[in-house]
Amino acid sequence: MPPLRSTLTSHNRRLPSKPLPPTKAVPGTGTGTRSRLSPPPFSSPPPRSLLPPRRQQPQVHTPMTEPTTSMTHSSKPDKRITPCLEFATKLLSVLSSPDDIPAIDSLLEEISSHIDKVHLLCQRPQPSTQLHQQQQLPEDTEIDSVGVKLWNLCTRLWRDYNDPIHPPESINPRLKKLSLYGKGFGFWLVVFARSSQKKRKRRSDLVDIIKLGLKITRDLVGQKETKLAGNALQLVADHKTHLQDLGQEGWTEEEINEANCLEVEYFIWRTALAWVEGRLDVAEHMYTKAERLRSFLTRDYTERLADVLYEIGKSLSGKQDYKIAVKWLERANEVVNGLGIDQLTREGVELRLAILQGLVSALLGTGTEEDHNKAKNYVDFLEVEMGNKMVVSLLKLEVLHKMPQAEVFDEEGYADVLRHLIRNFDGKKKGGAEFKLIVHHIRKLHEKSPGAGCAVLDDFILVLRTVGNGGQEFMEKALVTRMWMMTQQRDSTDTVRGLGELFGNITRAVSAEAAVAAQALSYTQGEYALAEAWCQLALAPIFEKCGPGNKAKLESMETATRVINDMSPSSWKEPMTAYLAFKVAIRTEDRELAVKCLETISQTPEHVDFLGACIAESQKAGDVTCAIAALKKLQDKYEYKEPNPIHLPALFRCTIRLLNMLVDRADADENGVVEDLCDMFGAVVIALEKQKKENSRRKLFTIDELEWFSRNSYNLALKNTTTWDLRYIVRMLTSCVKIIGYFPSDMGSSHVVEIALKMLFSRFIISSALVSLARAEDNVAKQLEEYTSMREHVLAFDTDLPELLPQLDEHSREDMLRKHATLLTFDFEAAVVLEAWDDLGGIVQRAVGCRSVTAFQAMADSLLRARAPGQVLYSTMRKLVNEIWVLEAFDAVKLAKYTRCLFQATLPVDDGLAMKLLEEACGKARELRESQAAWPEEELEWMAATAFNHAIDCYSAHEMERSREWAMKAIKLAGYCQDDGGLEGTLRAKYERLNLG
């Protein structure tokens, strides 16, 4: 429903076409005409007073007189105000030619700076000499005069820029702001001049300052200049306090009422300022104070208070905070109805109607049955008071459309209201706004009840035959819409024949463009039983301007395609044309044309409705590919705004279901479809991230939605693990893991366990796939990237597992530990490839709880194949051997084998560590001999021979001491061989030949 009013300031509100007649003057205002929100410029004021003179007060005081040149005092001017006065004089000169003002931004900054200075001076005590107490100083008069001139000049400019009846052709917003700032600067100069004239203030001067302050506050609040508005209200509050200090002794009743009204207006603008600043608690407090003085309100002040309350409620309603909006709008309604409608001005009557309209919309927005009944009562009241005017009819339609869910939609009532609007339609509104509004509501009715919607549109078409002022154009658009409605419902020969009867009642032929558009609808009807009826309908006399060629083209769908391809570019821009062409394309299986139509429709403002229709047509024709393409266009155009006609999770679900249907087809591009599936689940993750960043109160993705997306991504990956490329499996399960991360933490324990298991299984499969990809990757950079990504998933698995294990049964716990051991083996392999040597010991330690000999053996194999630093190799291998020893209870054969392997790997990189292993081997061989166990003979021979060969290598390198030490250890180890000292004797003989002493 179109709003009746716009912003807080009434200069944007619609005004009467003729000027209002003079009204009775409000006591104390000093003028017989009423201007609510923009004060008139002062025509020829005396230099000391901005308002007409008031009745002499009974108090005894010294009257102010005009300063003369014969004054004998010798006061010095206040140097603090001199720069401000000079700038104000310069500003007057500049604003005299507003069309040629350079550097407006710098002028605005200077004005703001001078206003701050004058505001500070107004807060400080002024000189209070005897002369100041008795008469006005020349510089005060000059400041007052400049302030008055600046006020009047800027007021005229401000009015010109905000004239709703004769608006300027182009408005420079900075120039408009300059006139407002100049007006404010004039106000502050006047306040300063009159505040420094006398020590004792007169009531009339204080009232004048208060009125001016409230006027400039109104303009500043309307433009959201909160700082200046707050300062202006501060000055008003100061002068209001001075006025209260004078007391009311000797005041007339009119003067007392005027003071009370000013008090109320002060609280009105304090309320408005608090609202603009977003402080509703302060606005509530200020309204409470104004409420106490409502009995003193005159008509003008009543309308002002109602106006402010209305704007607060309207802004809250725009933010969808309907409950609070209802409270403020009800207050506005109560205030404006405090006066009889006959006492309100014309603007007041419009304000009252706008308040009721906003209140009805806010009540319907809450969605409760109680508020819906209240809204209906308000509309019934308006109908009794105003009759069936258009605004009342629109409100009735809104009430009927937003029926509570428990009630059945009243299609007959909705249709009756539309028929009333149709009977009063004259087509005189510019731009066809009234026509578009009626068709919009007819479409709404068609959504709820297709039959009722078509019947009302038929009545509208018949009325449009007799309407002048563009009635023919309106009728043609209505005809095309009627044809479109027919294609959206289940038709029969009777319904098509009924539409033909409607066309028979129209004697005047439609234009060629409308005829082609309407006939194109008949091309899309592929049901052969109705083909003849549709062709007869397309050949109705009203379409005679389509030309003989187009009549012949009704013969087949192929010719229909040719007609569409021959359309001009301007015709293609119409979404209805593109939609009809799309219907032809899917029936002729012309994919290229279908894509072109979808692209055209997606660029139009009405893309949501037409793309939805394209999706429905594609599914009806069984064209899954076109349906997916249309869904993708909707997804591309989705905007994260509320309310939104598209439910994004439902859009994702529909697309995924269709893609899943397509992936199993033999003629489908499997890789392309799987890629689209992965992209779709990735889009779900992106949407969840955006929702989290926006921190919206209304969550798009419910728990059920999250469960659906996580379950389907998981099942699809598991189902196709052996058939899809592993990279697709990784992408699908990564999306699953990220979606699971958005589940709330306060779910039931059973649900939490199920979700946690799904996440751990996903990470296990991802890690396994990444290891396979990395092992087969030839590109080293990609290989390292895949290993790094895999380690992140293993770490996450390792972090989440301890919390879950106590909640599992024994069988499940053992299974998870086996998977954990496998992942740690992969992690060890990745750390070796990435040369993250410092991580190896930690991985071994994390694997201890898994108690898997296979895992430790696999780690040992990875380490022995790597070119690890000697110390890393030695320390890590020692840990692995120790853990295997604990788990397997080594016999002498296995111990000898692992010792030999470690010795063989360590010797080339660090013979010092190898020497330690040789000494341990000697100790173990001795222990086994004493315990009557045997160290394998071949292992002893191999290690002794290898050690003696290393001694010879050291001898060749002239490392005699090192050679002697290795030779002696080798001989010692050979002594434990069960060969009657054969190997020991051979090595000792060779040692003597070396002459190592």
DSSP secondary structure, 650-709, as one string: HHHHHHHHHHHHHHT-TTS-HHHHHHHHHHHHHHHHHHHHHHHHHT-SS-SS-HHHHHHH
Q: Report pLDDT for 715.
A: 92
Residue 430 domain-assigned (yes or no): no
pLDDT at residue 96 is higher than 90: no
How far the first Cα of the chain sits from its last, in Å, is: 112
Question: Can you tell me the distance from the alpha carbon of 65 to that of 71, in angstroms, rounded to the nearest whole number?
Answer: 12
**Are the C-beta atoms of 336 and 354 separated by less than 8 Å?**
no
Q: Report pLDDT for 889.
A: 62
Write the burial class of residue 667 (CB in 10 Å: 0-12 exposed, 13-18 middle, 19+ buried).
Answer: exposed
Question: Can you tell me the distance from the alpha carbon of 987 to that of 416, in angstroms, rounded to the nearest whole number?
Answer: 118
Asked which of 351, 379, 399 is the last residue of a domain, the reply is: 399
* Confidence band, pLDDT 50/70/90 cuts, at residue 571: low
Asked which of 373, 399, 425 is the last residue of a domain, the reply is: 399
Q: 53-57, 167-171, 681-685 — which one is most confidently predicted on average?
A: 681-685
Between residues 824 and 875, the one the model is more confident about: 824
**Are the C-beta atoms of 879 and 844 separated by less than 8 Å?**
yes
Q: Measuring CA to CA, which residue among 417, 478, 415, 418 is closest to residue 448? A: 415
Written as six digits, the tokens of 326 are 């209802």
For residue 163, the Cα-to-chain-centroid distance in whole angstroms is 36
CA angle 950, 955, 956 (to 5 degrees): 95
Token look-up 């040789």 returns: 918
**Are the C-beta atoms of 134 and 62 separated by less than 8 Å?**
yes
Residue 346 domain-assigned (yes or no): yes
Average pLDDT over residues 578-593: 80
Residue 174 domain-assigned (yes or no): no
* Confidence band, pLDDT 50/70/90 cuts, at residue 427: low
pLDDT tens for each residue of 508-553? 555 555 454 444 545 444 444 444 444 545 545 455 445 444 444 4
**Please, which residues have CB within 8 angstroms of residue 737's CB and are 6 or more apart in sequence?**
759, 762, 763, 766
Written as six digits, the tokens of 896 are 């000898």
The whole-model pTM stands at 0.45
Question: Can you tell me the distance from the alpha carbon of 49 to that of 30, in angstroms, rounded to the nearest whole number?
Answer: 13
pLDDT tens for each residue of 334-350? 888 887 777 888 888 88
DSSP string of 7-62?
SSSGGGS---SSPPPP-PPPTTS--SS--SSSPPPPSS--TT-SSPPPPPPSS--P
Q: Which helix (H) or strand (E) holds 865?
A: helix 853-865
Residue 370 domain-assigned (yes or no): yes
Average pLDDT over residues 396-407: 72
Q: Report pLDDT for 696.
A: 59
DSSP helix, strand, coil percent of the chain (3-state; round to 5): 70, 0, 30
Q: At what angle do helices 960-974 and 937-956 cross, to 10 degrees?
A: 170
Name the phi and psi angles at 919, rounded to 5. -65, -40
Instruction: Write out the residue range of the structural domain in which residue 309 sits.
Output: 298-399
* Confidence band, pLDDT 50/70/90 cuts, at residue 711: very high
Question: Can you tell me the distance from the alpha carbon of 111 to that of 105, in angstroms, rounded to the nearest whole number?
Answer: 10
> Hey, how many other C-beta atoms are within 10 angstroms of the C-beta on 771?
22
Amino acid in position 879? K
* Confidence band, pLDDT 50/70/90 cuts, at residue 73: very low
Average pLDDT over residues 72-84: 59
Task: Name the domain count of the chain.
Answer: 2
- What is the average pLDDT score of the chain? 75
Average pLDDT over residues 614-624: 82
* Confidence band, pLDDT 50/70/90 cuts, at residue 259: confident
Question: Can you tell me the distance from the alpha carbon of 351 to that of 819, in angstroms, rounded to the nearest whole number?
Answer: 72
Between residues 685 and 527, the one the model is more confident about: 685
Three-class SS of 458-507: HHHHHHHCCCCCCHHHHHHHHHHHHHHHHHCCCCCHHHHHHHHHHHHCCC
Residue 910 domain-assigned (yes or no): yes
Residue 351 domain-assigned (yes or no): yes
Question: Can you tell me the distance from the alpha carbon of 289 to that of 240, in angstroms, rounded to the nearest whole number?
Answer: 15
pLDDT tens for each residue of 105-135? 778 888 888 888 888 888 754 444 443 444 4
Percent of the chain with pLDDT over 90: 8
**Are the C-beta atoms of 725 and 784 separated by less than 8 Å?**
no
pLDDT tens for each residue of 460-513? 777 777 776 656 677 777 777 777 776 666 555 556 555 666 665 565 555 555
> Hey, how many other C-beta atoms are within 10 angstroms of the C-beta on 841?
13
Name the phi and psi angles at 556, rounded to 5. -155, 160
SS3 of residue 466 by DSSP = coil
Question: Can you tell me the distance from the alpha carbon of 614 to that of 892, in angstroms, rounded to the nearest whole number?
Answer: 78
Average pLDDT over residues 740-769: 86
**Please, which residues have CB within 8 angstroms of residue 195's CB and are 6 or more apart in sequence?**
122, 126
Q: Measuring CA to CA, which residue among 421, 521, 427 is closest to residue 473? A: 427
Residue 355 domain-assigned (yes or no): yes
CATH number at residue 912: 1.20.58
Between residues 728 and 531, the one the model is more confident about: 728
> Hey, how many other C-beta atoms are within 10 angstroms of the C-beta on 895?
19
Question: Can you tell me the distance from the alpha carbon of 476 to that of 301, in angstroms, rounded to the nearest whole number?
Answer: 51
**Are the C-beta atoms of 847 and 821 separated by less than 8 Å?**
yes
What does the buried/exposed string (b/e) look like for 431-444 if buried means 16 or more CB atoms within 10 Å of the residue's CB?
eeebbebbbebbee
**Are the C-beta atoms of 826 and 794 separated by less than 8 Å?**
yes
Question: Can you tell me the distance from the alpha carbon of 586 to that of 588, in angstroms, rounded to the nearest whole number?
Answer: 5
Question: Can you tell me the distance from the alpha carbon of 131 to that of 141, in angstroms, rounded to the nearest whole number?
Answer: 14
The DSSP letter of residue 125 is P
pLDDT at residue 186 is higher than 60: yes
Asked which of 399, 419, 439 is the last residue of a domain, the reply is: 399
Question: Can you tell me the distance from the alpha carbon of 708 to that of 650, in angstroms, rounded to the nearest whole number?
Answer: 11
pLDDT tens for each residue of 931-941? 666 778 888 88
In this structure, the chain runs to a length of: 997
For residue 462, the Cα-to-chain-centroid distance in whole angstroms is 45
Residue 195 domain-assigned (yes or no): no
Written as six digits, the tokens of 564 are 């569409």
